Amino acid sequence: MNPINIAIDGYSSCGKSTLAQDLAKSLNYTYIDSGAMYRAVTLYILNNDLVKGDAVFDVKKALSDINIEFRFINGKNITYLNGSNVEDDIRRMYVSENVSVVAAIPEVRRKLVEHQQYLGRNKSVVMDGRDIGTVVFPDAELKIFVTADIEIRTKRRYEELMAKGITVSFEEIKNNLHERDFIDSTREDSPLFQAEDAILIDNTNLSIEEQFNKVLALAKGKISKGSSS
């Protein structure tokens, strides 16, 4: 078997993490949620009151105080920030409302990308995000770019948050997805775009299972190709 890295990029809330987790499980690979890292940095900044009005906070100092790790507990990847479980908090709306601004800061990206590349150094990683196929793993053997209709994406995120007991309106979610997509695609440092060699999947009308089977077949093709050459 030839271990590979799988990069999954795409717009906000289009099912990247479900796909990435299912693939990692099936291939016995490690799943890395790069968005959780940007969310954890954002949570730290918000919790420590580092953004006051227009004041620019000391990014370097904040970054040097932050330690992010993932622990695999009961079949799930849990995000830890400085030793505390922040998996639920990083999914809240106030983090979603600020994360794209934080993720556009070059120092933040540099630090997290370095960490992500380290985690993928031995291959056998499935990572999802916005710049995985373009910046983090430009040599990834399989690159997927996922998209879906905004109404469907909003509905999925709405149901996900409701299931967690987080009350938020449909419109609020839709606006947030629009805003994040805009900031993520237009920022100067590593904007979101489809890598030339990425395979586009529009999952608007695909079930989770259909999408998974499609990408699993692609992954298996890459893995067996490598072992015979």
Count CA atoms closer than 13 A to 105's CA, side-chain side: 19
User: In this chain, which of 29, 31, 38, 70 binds ligand CDP, going by CB under 6 A?
Assistant: 38
Our finding on whether 103 is near ligand CDP (CB under 6 A) is yes
Nearer Cβ to ligand CDP (96/223):
96
What's the 3-state SS for 67-113?
CEEEEEECCEEEEEECCEECCCHHHCHHHHHHHHHHHCCHHHHHHHH
- 121 strand-pairing partners: none
Our finding on whether 105 is near ligand CDP (CB under 6 A) is no
Our finding on whether 34 is near ligand CDP (CB under 6 A) is yes
Residue 48 beta carbon to ligand CDP: minimum distance, rounded to whole angstroms: 19
User: In this chain, which of 7, 22, 29, 39 binds ligand CDP, going by CB under 6 A?
Assistant: 39
Nearer Cβ to ligand CDP (29/137):
137
Report the C-alpha gap between 96 and 72 in whole angstroms.
Answer: 23
Our finding on whether 211 is near ligand CDP (CB under 6 A) is no
User: Which residue sits closest to ligand CDP, CB atoms considered?
Assistant: 35
Residue 47: which residues within 8 A CB-CB, separation 6 or more?
Answer: none
Contact region with ligand CDP (CB under 6 A), list: 56-64, 71-79, 130-138, 198-206: 130-138
Nearer Cβ to ligand CDP (27/99):
99
- 60 strand-pairing partners: none
Neighbours of 8 (CB within 10 A): 28
Our finding on whether 156 is near ligand CDP (CB under 6 A) is no
User: What residues numbered 176-205 form the site for ligand CDP, per CB under 6 A?
Assistant: 180, 184
For the chain, the straight-line distance linking the first and the last C-alpha, in angstroms and rounded, comes to 11
